[in-house]
A and B are shown apart, each in its own frame.
Chain A
């Protein structure tokens, strides 16, 4: 279901838990489909002993992908014009992430109605892991 500009107001929010207790298996799945086999995400021995991190952590693009599921559920399929993020903190196995979208602006451009959104994904401790913005086409 697409959003309607007439039913949206600046400041409206939508949030979803996009992953509950992130598993190492999901990191393996993401490596397999994205093609990013950096051992930092699947190889605990390398990550601890060579890279110097406490253990494997999620691909930034997985955090963005998880945040993207909230976004497409909210704006509807095929409605995104822009989607961009900054990775502000690492995401670890066991994390539960909540992605939140806030309406920043409603506008017309090139005969289309658009909504600009600000995005933030936080972990179970309230620490921000992703911030971003998106623009989607909405109905009148």
Chain B
């Protein structure tokens, strides 16, 4: 995520996102109900900002037409040659909310790389951590959300205890 990403906040996306985390709270889908609440409008669930991935044209974990995909089709992986590594896992995620998002907002998401560090673990060998920070600015240039994620690449699949 090198370039700024435009993320339109849409009511249908919020509704579907809330369903996918099993949250039937009407503040995520019922505009009439939302008007009667303290906030006064539909808001998004707290972890919704990460779905910015939908709007990242370069996002690596989305199947793209005409490109080979590392998941299975005829074979366990669609890639030729050596098997893809176990890839990255999510180690930490932190959000700071400066105000509640609402449908109609258009965020400009500015991303930057944070720290990187390494650690040895019994269950997965060498762990390589990378921090990334995203700042979500609204259509008026106001900061709405700050997100800090930590990804980890493991030397081998995490052993199951």
B22 surroundings in chain A (CB, below 8 A):
18-19, 26, 66, 69
B96 surroundings in chain A (CB, below 8 A):
81-82
Interface string of A39-62 (1 = CB under 8 A from B): 110110110111111100001111
- The DSSP consensus for interface residues of chain B is loop
Pairwise interchain contact A29-B63, C-beta atoms closer than 8 A: no
Asked if A109 is at the interface of the complex by the 8 Å CB criterion, the answer is no
In the complex with contacts A68-B21, A69-B22, A77-B39, A43-B72 CB distance below 8 A: yes
Pairwise interchain contact B91-A33, C-beta atoms closer than 8 A: no
Please tell me the number of chain A residues within 8 Å of chain B, measured between CB atoms: 50
The stretch from B81-89, B105-113, B114-122, B135-143 touching chain A is B81-89
The B-contacting residues of A in range 62-94, CB under 8 angstroms, are 62, 64-66, 68-69, 71-73, 76-78, 80-87, 90
Our pick among A51, A62, A68, A82 for the contact of B94 (Cβ within 8 Å) is A82
B158 surroundings in chain A (CB, below 8 A):
53, 90
A-B contact count (CB 8 A): 158
Closest residue of chain A to B76 (Cβ to Cβ) is A49
Binding site for B on A (CB under 8 A): 2, 18-19, 26, 29-30, 32-40, 42-43, 45-46, 48-54, 59-62, 64-66, 68-69, 71-73, 76-78, 80-87, 90
Supplied contacts A68-B47, A69-B22, 10 more A-B pairs, CB within 8 Å? A18-B22, A30-B20, A33-B13, A46-B77, A60-B90, A61-B47, A61-B50, A64-B93, A78-B100, A85-B94
Binding site for A on B (CB under 8 A): 13, 16-17, 19-23, 25, 27, 37-39, 43, 45-47, 50-51, 53-56, 59, 61-63, 69-72, 76-77, 83-84, 86-87, 89-97, 100, 148, 156-158, 160
